[in-house]
Amino acid sequence: MKDPIRVAVTGGAGQIAYSLLFRIGNGEVFGPEQPVILQILEIPQAMDALKGVVMELQDSAQPLVHDIIATDDANVAFKDANWAILVGGKPRGPGMVRADLIAANGPIFLDQGKAINDNAADDIRVVVVANPCNSNCLVAASNAPDVPKDRWFAMTRLDENRARAQVADKAGVLSTEVTNVGIWGNHSASQFPNFEEIKVGGKPATEVIDDRGWFEGDFLTTVQDRGKAIIDARGKSSAASAANAALDTIRSLITPTAEGDWFSAAVYSDGNPYGIADGIFYSFPLRSTGNGDWEIVEGLELSDYAKEKAAATQDELLKEREAITDLL
């Protein structure tokens, strides 16, 4: 058996972690031969609740879980971590606008970025789930100067999976038939799931579903507003599907991407091929070699429509950045 890897998860007493931690322990992401040490961070007020989660993890007796560390100290949680999944954060309260949410979460991610910088293993990779995930990721990465920027990812995989499911349903095929789903930009209502590139069974989705009005209308709004629709239906925000998307993100990063396909995550834009502004975490279609290297898919011909959408979500991210310049 291999040596265990250390996986830090923040927000361990929350909804998403309640699914995520157990699935990591099952070997669903790192494989059935890879033991893990779970290093779970919470705020002091939630440590009792976290104790309960840890008891349940213990009671699952998962063979791959070699140790569980529960702490309210970020320096302990990120100590020698090989992966960090940042799920914990301040939720949007009543009357809060997006800028308030960004400002409320900024200091958390500043501190966690520093703690990652000072404590994590040399090969640390970080996936930021907590919203506003693109800007939280920017704050954390900016405060971890020793960790290369290409090790940081903000999660747009749930949007990708939502888009895939919508297209599969409309085309009447299994979701595995739907490939080349790329989310562009921010994990927010401004995101652009670029349907012009999606394929169904290898053919352009826009040919298989010959209804441009559906793509520009219901498809886009369903994907963009899905988070709110789930809150309206369930009374709570998406959790199991968000945990699933976090695992998919990591799996895509550690597995070679299938020939011709791609997956989505927000990465640090730095001289990207599509002229998107530098210095923001922007979601692009990515390909991975499977050994930690990834690249933005090059050579896609964006239509004027797609360019306009890609620019609009970029502009929103630039505005979000203005709210946190003092934290960068």
Please give the positions annotated as active site: 187
Residue 13 is labelled as binding a ligand: yes
Token duo for residue 235: 């009374």
| Nearest distance from C-beta of residue 145 to ligand NAI, angstroms | 21
* Sheet bearing 199-200, strands edge to edge: 178-179, 199-200, 203-204
Residue 224 is labelled as binding a ligand: no
Using CB under 6 A as the binding rule, the residues of this chain from 235 to 274 that contact ligand NAI are 237-239, 242
- Does position 9 bind ligand NAI by CB under 6 A? no
Stretch that binds ligand NAI, among 9-17, 22-30, 191-199, 281-289 (CB under 6 A): 9-17
Residue 26 is labelled as binding a ligand: no
> Taking CB under 6 A as the rule, which mask of x and - marks residues 117-136 in contact with ligand NAI?
------------xxx-x---
Number of residues forming the site for ligand NAI (CB under 6 A): 27
* Member of 5, 23, 46, 272 binding ligand NAI (CB under 6 A): 46
| Nearest distance from C-beta of residue 316 to ligand NAI, angstroms | 15
- Does position 113 bind ligand NAI by CB under 6 A? no
- Does position 11 bind ligand NAI by CB under 6 A? yes
CA–CA separation, 328 vs 265, rounded Å?
21
Output the 3-class SS for the chain.
CCCCEEEEEECCCCHHHHHHHHHHHCCCCCCCCCCEEEEEECCHHHHHHHHHHHHHHHHHCCCCEEEEEEECCHHHHCCCCCEEEECCCCCCCCCCCHHHHHHHHHHHHHHHHHHHHHHCCCCCEEEECCCCHHHHHHHHHHCCCCCCHHHEEECCHHHHHHHHHHHHHHHCCCHHHEECCCEEECCCCCCEECCCCCEECCEEHHHHCCCHHHHHHHHHHHHHCHHHHHHHHHCCCCCHHHHHHHHHHHHHHHCCCCCCCCEEEEEECCCCCCCCCCCCEEEEEEEECCCCCEEECCCCCCCHHHHHHHHHHHHHHHHHHHCCHHHC
* Member of 22, 42, 116, 266 binding ligand NAI (CB under 6 A): 42
The residue sitting closest to ligand NAI, measured at its beta carbon, is 14
- Does position 13 bind ligand NAI by CB under 6 A? yes
* Member of 89, 182, 193, 285 binding ligand NAI (CB under 6 A): 89
Using CB under 6 A as the binding rule, the residues of this chain from 174 to 193 that contact ligand NAI are 187
- Does position 41 bind ligand NAI by CB under 6 A? yes
* Member of 10, 71, 82, 313 binding ligand NAI (CB under 6 A): 10
Q: Name the residues that contact ligand NAI, by CB under 6 A.
A: 10-11, 13-16, 41-43, 46, 87-91, 108, 129-131, 133, 155, 158, 187, 237-239, 242
| Binding-site residues from annotation | 11-17, 92, 98, 105, 112, 129-131, 162
